[in-house]
Amino acid sequence: MVFSLAFASCQSEKRVEGVYRYSFEKQGRFIVSIVDGSKIRQNIYKEFVYGGNEQRYPFVPKGEIWIDNAISSEEYELTVRHELNERHLMAKFAMTYQAAHDSSLALELTIRHRNESICSAHESSLGMVSVRDYNGKKEIQSIPDSIRLQNIYRIPMGNRKGISIWVVDGYRVRKTFFPDFGFSGNDLSCHFIPKNEIWIDGQISCEETEYSIATELIERKLISEGKSYDDAYETAIESVRQQRVKMADYVGTLPKIAVPDSLDRDTGILDPNEN
């Protein structure tokens, strides 16, 4: 009889499927997953925004950091750092959520100022750049053929295969010298992008960021091997389409999310494994 009651309770527990959108990155001992924020707000927790961790939200599986797919590429890394720091403070010191949250906001601010300094120094180191694309097209005839980049760079994202990845102000790029700048670009397809760089539009969603980086890396490699831009672009788009299918298949295998009775915590729970 006891077994039957326990089984019935397990069966009646609410579970939500289709929460995961992109799961790929390991940060220390944590998996960072991009999740469907709208679905979470509708079916689990109506105030979920930006991200979450297991200390604040019991519905986040242990060992995971969740990032809302609605946020931009520009905010992604900051949100990951925020959630990792918040979780650490709650797990290590049983800190209140509000105190841990405020500390994480202060950390964000420090990183924002650091990024601004890095980007400003990088722009100062660059020479003049052409405003034309791979085909030599100049889209704003009233500006000079060469310009200095000003207030374009937003976030340094490190290197991939020897190529520097930067989040840039896509709105400003389109406004000041190249209206056709889309999700991303690379130095071999856009003459205004400095050598060995890939640009990611800061306004695209964090869910699109990795796909955009992959597109540019493939396209750039093919152009460097002698393919035309059009052929390289088509090949890159098809390759990334296949990556999208694989990711959709993978996240489809991930378990549904169990919804507990208590959806948030105001104070952390000490974790003996927390360093």
- Per-position pLDDT tens, the chain of length 275: 343 333 334 445 799 999 999 987 788 899 999 999 999 999 999 999 999 999 999 999 999 999 999 999 999 999 999 999 999 999 999 999 999 999 999 999 999 999 999 999 999 999 999 999 888 889 999 999 999 999 999 999 999 999 999 999 999 999 999 999 989 999 999 999 999 999 999 999 999 999 999 999 999 999 999 999 999 999 999 999 999 999 999 999 999 999 999 999 999 999 998 88
* Residues recorded for the chain: 275
- What does the block give as tokens for 52? 């979450």
DSSP E strands in the chain: the ranges are 15-16, 20-27, 30-35, 51-53, 64-68, 129-130, 146-147, 153-160, 163-168, 184-186, 197-201, 257-258
CA angle 236, 237, 240 (to 5 degrees): 85
